[in-house]
Amino acid sequence: MTTKLFGTKVPRVEDQRFLRGQGRYVDDLLTDDPRLLHAAVLRSPHAHARIVDIDVSDVLDLDGVVAVWTWEDLTGPMAEPLPLLIPHPTLTHGRTQYALAREEVNYVGEAIAFVVAVDRYVAEDAVARIRVDYEYLEPVVGIDAARAAERTVHDDVPDNVGARMEQENGDARAAIAAAPHTLTLELDIERSACTPMEGRGTVARWDPDTSRLTVWSSTQTSTGVRGCVAAKLGLDLARVDVITPDVGGGFGVKVVHPWPEELLVPLAAKTLGRPVKYTEDRREHFISSAHERAQQHHVEVGFDDEGRVLGLNVEFWHDHGAYTPYGLIVPIITSTQLLGPYKPQNYRVVFESLYTNTVIVTPYRGAGRPQGCFVMERTMDAIAAYLGKDRTEVRSTNFIQPDEFPYEHGLIFQDGRELTYDSGDYPASLAKLKELVGWDEFEEFRAEMAAQGRRVGIGLACYVEGTGVGPYEGAHVHIETSGKVKVATGLTTQGQGHQTAFAQIVADTLGVRFEDVEVTTGDTRKMPYAVGTFASRAAVMSGSAIHLAALRAKEKALRIAAEALEASEEDLEIADGVVSVKGTDASIDLGTVAVLSNPLRYAFDEASKAATQFSVGDPGKPPVAEDDEPGLEGKDFYSPPRSTFANGMHAVIVETDPDTAEIRILKYAVVHDCGHLINPMIVEGQIHGGVAQGVGGALYERMAYDESGQLLNASFMDFLMPYVTEVPTSIDIDHLETPSPLNPLGIKGAGEAGVIPSAAVFAAAIEDAEGFPITAMPISPSELFELRLAHADDTTEATTRSTP
């Protein structure tokens, strides 16, 4: 009997390979090919400048240089701006860069010239020989400068405003005006970035004999890259294959496509007739990939004596950098997901998406939600402080209740669909969290610590996350005559453990051994219809599609087996790859069923003889029935009506050093609801990683731009990604499972969850420890020290907080 694998902690089969250094990443490919060429990119040293002249005359003299491209050398679609991937009606002034800068550069790091040489050393030597005359322009750096609009990034974008978008449910301003209590908050979040272990990278090979282009790219969407490469290079889609090998992390940055290099590498490979590789280095990743997070928020809230929000009016300013290739996804998510598990009676949100002369902004794990969660949770804490109520009580007062699902917010979400929550039980989650972190016992602990001269604080933050956005994913399940099952789904894998989780689904649905299932992802040759891996969608989308495809294969297997076993389908069961008639010894292997599914003229081995023309079939009928097809396969697609909404709540206890202002994490607790868990170990791994990344975002990481637009910390020496020594040694996790009604497995996404509440939860805990408001994140010990100085004369605030 096959044991049910869905819901169990099956060890990840990927890890053997990864931990033994046997992963195969883009940079590992074609290394033995003597014809392989290497690319390097000349990048702008200025944040804002006109290009007067580019002189490449010294480059081709250099031994080992094969070719150099500037914008002047590009033709056709390659000479046009890169695509604006997700247009939106309010994005009235969307702009994208060229693959190589044309006349103007708008951030330090923008690609200007592309050199191909025998190795990367020579290519970098050549880059250093290119002379560019610039006419320096004053840059716009930071949201304040963008809003002031004394200068503009693009001449034809007035006031640096790319988009202004407003949504409202009810009449928020009137509700606030009529509310018994009101508060106003200014809340800021700084820039950060995904910083995956592996940067971007692309390898391309053109085969002149078959006129086919093969592209390997470290991407979160191989079908997206394929479409762009074909369009830009003027190739038929059928002549382009895009394969995503192992990917060393994405976290959002690799869903952006096509990167200039993702087009230039295939162009060079096709032009030169030799394979070409580009591997981004770490400095390039900091200055020429993508950032996120920077937003300023102005909040007005009206509430009653219980802390019930009657009206919420949020205005915010989003720094989208120099261009808008990914549209307005991040600020739209902030504006909608800000609501979290709450139901403000009246809500208005308006944002401006602003140009600055800095690296582009596109989704980074959490994608606008960390900012929204920060805004809402800081508001909840401010209400509690104002009313002198327990912070969990104010939240409970505002929760959407379990019997109110599906809950309609009256807004449009990032996928263009209604913002409607499908499921959840927020009061139950909060009860679990309070228990897990010891919320009700905390004052005792605080007093105990204070007696030792130690200062501690506790914070919590709740979020709701729309996961599994459409439009669709598909899957193909093929049972081979060996009984082995080959599964293909088109979205990519960057470390999530898809081989394991998807194989669990197939093993259960089909009734085969887990070990017999092999999953291929991100290969357009195997599954050309796909979207990508982002927005916590892989398990929901491909997991569901794989389940549906496996059901189709199973249906066919049962039909053929019933015929072979002369039994009724209802009497059959499949376990461990064997179809048997319940309660009898009669059985047939799935592999044999696969043989029978494909009528043969030629036997290729002993087993296949059973399917040849003199062995099988009714001579009076066509070997393949009119409504059937050969082979034991199933193919299906899953396309949900809208996103499914996961949720979670985090709490943290921090200690702030009264002397040095250092911030230490004493306890971190997570209650998480992503519906049914396919593999709890993988979900917990996602949470661990998300919390670690969130600790970075809250306490360590920021993009330190100076006023001239130079990124001062473009290395891991000064961009302080936390080490293992900086993240909590243990994270207490509890799960609640409210299944989603929107998909056949009842699952919701889990990939981004861990990172969303970090800024909010740390701000709350530090505020609780220190007694003054924390309104900007991230926060360093130096900043905490400066805040202490600023609040040193201001003891009244702390007093009113504790005794309202």
Partner 1 sequence: MKPAPFAYLRPATLEDALAALAGQQGAKVLAGGQSLVPLLSMRLAAPSTLVDINALPDLGHVTVTGDGDGAGDGVRIGALARHAEVLASAEAAASQPLLAMALSHVAHPTIRNRGTTVGSLVHADAAAEMPMVLRLLEGSVDVASVRGRRTIPAAELFAGPLESTLAHDEIAVEAFFPALAPGAGVAFQEIARRHGDYALVGVAAHVETEGGEVTRARVGFVSVSDVPVVVDVTGAAQDPEGDPAGAALAELEPADDIHATSAYRAHLVKVLTPRVLADAVHHARQRSAQGKSA
Smaller CB distance to partner 1: residue 125 or 684?
A: 125
Edge to edge, the sheet with strand 644-656 lists 455-467, 644-656, 663-673, 732-735
The stretch near partner 1 (CB under 8 A) out of 234-242, 316-324, 501-509, 712-720 is: 712-720
Report if residue 104 touches partner 1, rule: CB under 8 A. Answer: no
* CA Rg value for the chain: 28
* 454 near partner 1, judged by CB under 8 A: no
- Stretch of 45-53, 384-392, 637-645, 777-785 contacting partner 1, by CB under 8 A: 777-785
The structure tokens listed for 562 are 């019933």
- Indicate the residue among 549 and 663 with the shorter CB distance to partner 1: 663
Binding mask 119-158 for partner 1 (x = CB under 8 A): -xx--xx--x------------------------------
Does the footprint of partner 1 cover residue 655 (CB under 8 A)?
no
| 792 lines the binding site for partner 1 (CB under 8 A) | no
**Sheet-wide strand order for 587-589:** 572-575, 578-581, 587-589
Among 4, 9, 24, 282, binds partner 1 (CB under 8 A): 282
For 206, 334, 353, 576, 621, the CA distances from 642, given in Å and listed in that order, are 40, 18, 25, 35, 45
Residues 795 and 801: their CA atoms lie apart, in Å, by 10
Q: Rule CB under 8 A: is residue 710 a binding residue for partner 1?
A: no
Please report how close the Cβ of residue 178 comes to partner 1 at its closest, in angstroms: 44
Among residues 415, 39, 92, the alpha carbon closest in space to that of 263 is found at: 39
Residue with Cβ nearer partner 1 (44 or 524): 44
Structure tokens at 154: 């693009």
Residue 217 is which amino acid? S
What's the sign of the alpha-carbon dihedral 349, 350, 353, 356? negative
Cβ 220 vs Cβ 254: under 8 Å: yes
Applying CB under 8 A, among 32, 209, 659, 793 the residue interacting with partner 1 is: 659
Does the footprint of partner 1 cover residue 737 (CB under 8 A)? no
| Residues binding partner 1: number (CB under 8 A) | 29
Cβ of residue 789: shortest distance to partner 1, in angstroms?
7
Return the number of the residue (108 or 678) whose C-beta is nearest partner 1. 108
Q: Which residue, 725 or 796, has its beta carbon nearer to partner 1?
A: 725
Q: How far is CA 353 from CA 29, 163, 166, 331, in A?
A: 39, 5, 12, 7
* 63 touches partner 1 (CB under 8 A): no
**By the rule CB under 8 A, 704 interacts with partner 1:** yes
What is the rounded distance in angstroms from the CA atom of residue 539 to the CA atom of residue 496? 10
Nearer to partner 1, 617 or 722 (CB): 722
Q: What's the closest the beta carbon of residue 201 comes to partner 1, in angstroms?
A: 14
Site membership for partner 1, residue 625 (CB under 8 A): no
- Give whichever of 625 and 789 is closer to partner 1, judged by the CB atom: 789
Exactly one of 166, 662, 794, 797 binds partner 1 (CB under 8 A); that residue is: 662
- Residue 488's nearest CA partner among 637, 608, 588 is 637
Q: Residue type at 644? A: T
Residues in CB range of 663: below 8 A, 6 or more apart: 654, 655, 656, 657, 699, 762, 766, 779, 781, 784
Among residues 460 and 699, whose Cβ is nearest to partner 1?
A: 699
Closest CA to 719 of 133, 285, 164: 285
Residue type present at position 69: W
Taking the complex as a whole, how short is the minimal distance between the CB of residue 144 and partner 1, in angstroms? 18
Please state, in angstroms and rounded to a whole number, the distance separating the CA atoms of residues 398 and 395. 5
Contact segment (CB under 8 A) with partner 1 among 335-343, 525-533, 707-715, 744-752 equals: 707-715
**Min. distance of Cβ 725 from partner 1 in angstroms?**
4
Query: Which residues sit at the interface with partner 1, rule CB under 8 A?
Result: 120-121, 124-125, 128, 281-283, 659-662, 700, 704, 712-713, 715, 718, 720, 722-723, 725-726, 780-782, 785-786, 789
